[in-house]
């Protein structure tokens, strides 16, 4: 019996001794997880994706020490829906986080829309698995539902133990020296209406005084009252955007209102490193959601003028430095080999964001289009980099379709959690692909929405290697051929600003990643077959959709004074608790 046992044990010991270090470390359970997400960063802005003029040595180091994805795509081309999909692993229209109107993101901290409380984020599952979970930086998924302090959409109600950052998003209105950005055209229109009503009121009053117009004083009083009420109605929100939207919070407490932009970068970095240091003795999830590289491009003096791409390039280089500081903190605590680090952007760069001759938005490399464009690659193809020494192979490049939604099942699996069984999860576990145990991505079809409108679909034909992409709707660029909607500032999803294609525009991204040469039945023998196959996939996909409340409806996105987070007695909302400390 002893000999028999020895004969079984000896090969087992020999096999373990002969295992590669990669295999040994692959059994590490519950790694620390650090998710780094840039804001509005174009895939062409990063060195390891081809940029040789903006310096990103720390992001490039991640790619050199890990796995770089070349077909990593966002589920939406704008912040709010893309991040909702990232957090839930589901297309944003499944949670009501895609819009039927032109208000396609959370517009006010004091709005009532946001990530529904019944959605299960990966943070919530990891929290249940014993992880310490923290979100530092941008949220942009709403705050309140019915009262100022219900915090139904707040990060702490979605699985994060700790939150420090902006419940909204960075906008130029947060910087007093910058030109206002939020609803700029609509705001100008409101000023014109106000001036017109005021001019009519003044003209009528002068006419009454001079006897040229026969009008009662009561009518004039009513007209003047209406003018005043109209002005107050819109100026009470748009006149104080910096106070209502540009705020910082720590957990449930407002700490800066308005935020002091000069120190935001240092505070976010300090909080990130502090979270790592506090939680180094147990598994942790850190989601560092950068405010870089969104306008107004907050950049400290140390980095101003360093790049050859103006303020935008300076801002990207500062973000890369912050990435390096976080990586150094992980190394310092001896956590490098037990930490999965992921870097991505929430969507493509904003081509139309300009002030005069200054380009304030990102560059999307060879890919057509940009932010807000639901179908074109430039709006949705983003950097995607994973590093986990000893578990993921170094210097690997994977040219397979993957999605930001894939992070959800990937981290849930690593934490030992179970995916929700009562809803559709659109993401796929990436670990087999990242480790090289499978050759192809699990995604056969990916659906590209602009708001709730399906603009394009890609089909990964795995047996041939072709990646077909059919565009059913595309934006109308202005000026023609410019590659963006410079007349509007954003490309629309529907209406006069788009073109519908029947048959759809078809590209093979494996041969034409820039989407420059549409195929036709005359030039592509498989054209009809591919279009039919994608059409059936759309029908199957739509059968999985169920009606849900619209979080970005007009009612939900408008400012509601009773929902506005306030660190004083509303409307006297002002505080600087960081300065006091």
Q: Is 270 exposed, middle or buried (0-12, 13-18, 19+ CB in 10 A)?
A: middle
For residue 257, give Cα distances in angstroms to 106, 134, 243, 568: 19, 22, 6, 9
What's the pLDDT band for 383 if we cut at 50, 70, 90?
A: very high
**Candidates 72, 140, 294, 448; catalytic one:** 140
Structure tokens at 438: 């499978």
What's the pLDDT band for 12 if we cut at 50, 70, 90?
A: very low
Structure tokens at 46: 């990063």
Give me the pLDDT at residue 384, please: 98
Q: What φ, ψ does residue 5 adopt, rounded to 5°?
A: -65, -40
Residue 543's contacts (CB-CB under 8 Å, 6 or more residues apart) are none
Residue 86 CA to residue 82 CA, distance in Å, equals: 6
**Candidates 48, 79, 145, 567; catalytic one:** 79
| Domain ranges, ordered by start, for the chain | 32-170+248-443+549-576, 184-239
CA-based end-to-end distance of the chain: 71
Residue 271 CA to residue 40 CA, distance in Å, equals: 22
Averaged pLDDT for residues 474-496: 95
Query: Do strands 498-508 and 466-475 pair parallel, antiparallel, or not at all (unpaired)?
Result: antiparallel
Top pLDDT among 318 and 1 is at 318
Does the pLDDT of residue 19 top 70, yes or no?
no
pLDDT in tens, 47-94: 999 999 999 999 999 999 999 999 999 999 999 999 999 999 999 999
For residue 9, give Cα distances in angstroms to 12, 18, 24: 5, 14, 18
Give me the pLDDT at residue 28, please: 56
What's the pLDDT band for 218 if we cut at 50, 70, 90?
A: confident
What's the pLDDT band for 581 if we cut at 50, 70, 90?
A: low
Q: What percent of the chain has pLDDT over 90?
A: 85
Does the pLDDT of residue 11 top 80, yes or no?
no
pLDDT in tens, 118-168: 999 999 999 999 999 999 999 999 999 999 999 999 999 999 999 999 999
Residue 377 CA to residue 369 CA, distance in Å, equals: 7
pLDDT in tens, 443-474: 999 999 999 999 999 999 988 999 999 999 99
DSSP string, 122-188: HHHHHHHTT-EEEEEEE--S---SSSTT--TTSGGGTT-SEEEEESS---GGGSTTSPP-TTHHHHH
Does the pLDDT of residue 355 top 90, yes or no?
no
Does the pLDDT of residue 10 top 50, yes or no?
no
The candidate with the shortest Cα–Cα distance to 529, out of 431, 438, 461, 437, is 461
CA dihedral sign of residues 156, 161, 162, 165: negative
Give me the pLDDT at residue 170, please: 96
Other C-beta atoms closer than 10 Å to the C-beta of 27 total 8
Other C-beta atoms closer than 10 Å to the C-beta of 129 total 18
Give me the pLDDT at residue 4, please: 39
Which DSSP symbol is given to 489?
Answer: S
Q: What φ, ψ does residue 184 adopt, rounded to 5°?
A: -60, -45
Residue 558's contacts (CB-CB under 8 Å, 6 or more residues apart) are 107, 108, 111
**What stretches of 239-283 show up as alpha helix (H) in DSSP?**
241-245, 264-278
pLDDT in tens, 529-551: 999 999 999 999 999 999 999 99
Top pLDDT among 214 and 146 is at 146
Averaged pLDDT for residues 336-345: 98
Sheet containing 466-475: order of strands: 445-450, 453-461, 466-475, 498-508
DSSP string, 49-61: GT-SSS--HHHHH
Give me the pLDDT at residue 25, please: 40
Does the pLDDT of residue 207 top 90, yes or no?
no
Half-sphere exposure of 217 (CA within 13 A, CB side): 1
Does the pLDDT of residue 356 top 90, yes or no?
no
Q: Is 576 exposed, middle or buried (0-12, 13-18, 19+ CB in 10 A)?
A: middle
Does the pLDDT of residue 27 top 60, yes or no?
no
Does the pLDDT of residue 15 top 80, yes or no?
no
Does the pLDDT of residue 96 top 80, yes or no?
yes
Mean pLDDT in the chain?
93
Q: What percent of the chain has pLDDT over 70?
A: 95
Structure tokens at 171: 């906008």
Averaged pLDDT for residues 265-271: 98
Which DSSP symbol is given to 116?
Answer: -
CATH architecture type of domain 32-170+248-443+549-576: 3-Layer(aba) Sandwich (3.40)
Structure tokens at 455: 């603009």
Half-sphere exposure of 468 (CA within 13 A, CB side): 25
Based on its alpha-carbon atoms, the radius of gyration of the chain, rounded to whole angstroms, reads 26
Q: What is the largest CA-CA distance in the chain?
A: 121
Residue 62 CA to residue 53 CA, distance in Å, equals: 18
Task: For residue 471, indicate whether it is catalytic.
Answer: no
pLDDT in tens, 502-522: 999 999 999 999 999 999 999
Task: For residue 281, indicate whether it is catalytic.
Answer: no
Q: What φ, ψ does residue 283 adopt, rounded to 5°?
A: -60, 140
- Check: CB of residue 347 under 8 Å from CB of residue 297: no
Does the pLDDT of residue 34 top 60, yes or no?
yes
Q: What φ, ψ does residue 282 adopt, rounded to 5°?
A: -145, 160
Give me the pLDDT at residue 8, please: 42
């Amino acid at each position: 019996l002893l000999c028999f046992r020895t004969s079984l044990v000896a090969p087992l010991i020999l096999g373990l001794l002969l295992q590669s270090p990669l295999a040994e470390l692959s059994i590490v359970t519950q790694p620390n997880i650090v998710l780094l997400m840039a804001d509005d960063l174009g895939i062409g802005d990063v060195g390891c994706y081809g940029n040789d003029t903006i310096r990103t040595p720390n992001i490039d180091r991640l790619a050199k020490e890990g796995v770089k994805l070349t077909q990593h795509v966002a589920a939406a081309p704008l912040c709010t829906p893309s991040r909702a999909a990232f957090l839930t692993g589901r297309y944003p229209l499944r949670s009501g986080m895609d819009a039927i109107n032109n208000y396609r993101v959370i517009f006010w901290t004091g709005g009532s829309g946001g990530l529904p409380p019944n959605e299960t984020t990966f943070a919530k599952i990891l929290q249940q698995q014993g992880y310490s979970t923290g979100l530092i930086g941008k949220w942009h998924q709403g705050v309140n539902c019915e009262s100022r302090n219900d915090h139904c959409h707040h990060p702490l109600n979605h699985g994060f133990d700790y939150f420090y950052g902006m419940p909204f998003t960075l906008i130029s209105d947060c910087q007093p020296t910058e030109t206002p950005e939020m609803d700029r055209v609509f705001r100008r229109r409101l000023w014109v209406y106000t001036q017109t009503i005021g001019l009519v009121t003044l003209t009528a009053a002068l006419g009454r005084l001079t006897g040229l117009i026969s009008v009662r004083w009561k009518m004039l009083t009513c007209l003047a009252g209406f003018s005043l009420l109209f002005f107050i109605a819109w100026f009470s929100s748009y006149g104080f955007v910096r106070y209502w939207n540009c705020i910082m919070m720590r957990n449930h407490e407002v700490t800066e209102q308005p935020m002091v932009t000069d120190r935001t970068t240092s505070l976010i970095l300090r909080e990130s490193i502090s979270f790592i240091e506090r939680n180094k003795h147990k598994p942790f999830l850190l989601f560092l959601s950068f405010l870089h590289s969104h306008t107004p491009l907050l950049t400290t003096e140390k980095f101003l003028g360093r790049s050859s791409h103006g303020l935008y390039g300076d801002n990207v280089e500062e973000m890369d430095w912050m990435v390096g500081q976080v990586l150094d903190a992980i190394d310092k605590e001896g956590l490098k080999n037990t930490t999965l680090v992921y870097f991505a952007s929430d969507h493509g760069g904003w081509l139309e964001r300009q002030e005069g001759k200054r380009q304030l938005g990102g560059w999307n490399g060879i890919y057509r289009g940009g932010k807000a464009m639901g179908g074109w690659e430039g709006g949705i193809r983003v950097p995607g980099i994973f590093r986990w020494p000893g578990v993921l192979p170094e210097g690997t490049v994977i040219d397979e379709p993957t999605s930001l939604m894939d992070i959800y099942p990937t981290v849930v699996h690593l934490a030992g959690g179970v995916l929700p069984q009562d809803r559709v999860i659109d993401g796929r576990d990436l670990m087999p692909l990242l480790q090289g145990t499978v050759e192809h991505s699990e995604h056969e079809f990916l659906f590209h929405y602009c708001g709730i409108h399906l603009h394009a679909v890609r089909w990964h034909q795995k047996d041939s290697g072709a990646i077909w992409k059919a565009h059913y709707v595309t934006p109308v660029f202005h000026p023609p051929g410019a590659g963006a909607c410079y007349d509007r500032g954003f490309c629309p999803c529907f209406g006069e600003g788009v073109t519908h294609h029947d048959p759809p525009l078809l590209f093979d991204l494996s041969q034409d990643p820039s989407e420059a040469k549409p195929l036709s039945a005359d030039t592509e023998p498989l054209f009809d077959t591919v279009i039919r196959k994608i059409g059936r996939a759309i029908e199957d996909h739509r059968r999985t959709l169920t009606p849900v409340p619209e979080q970005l409806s007009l009612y939900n996105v408008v400012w509601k004074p009773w929902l506005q987070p306030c660190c004083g007695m509303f409307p006297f909302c002002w505080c600087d608790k960081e300065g006091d400390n």
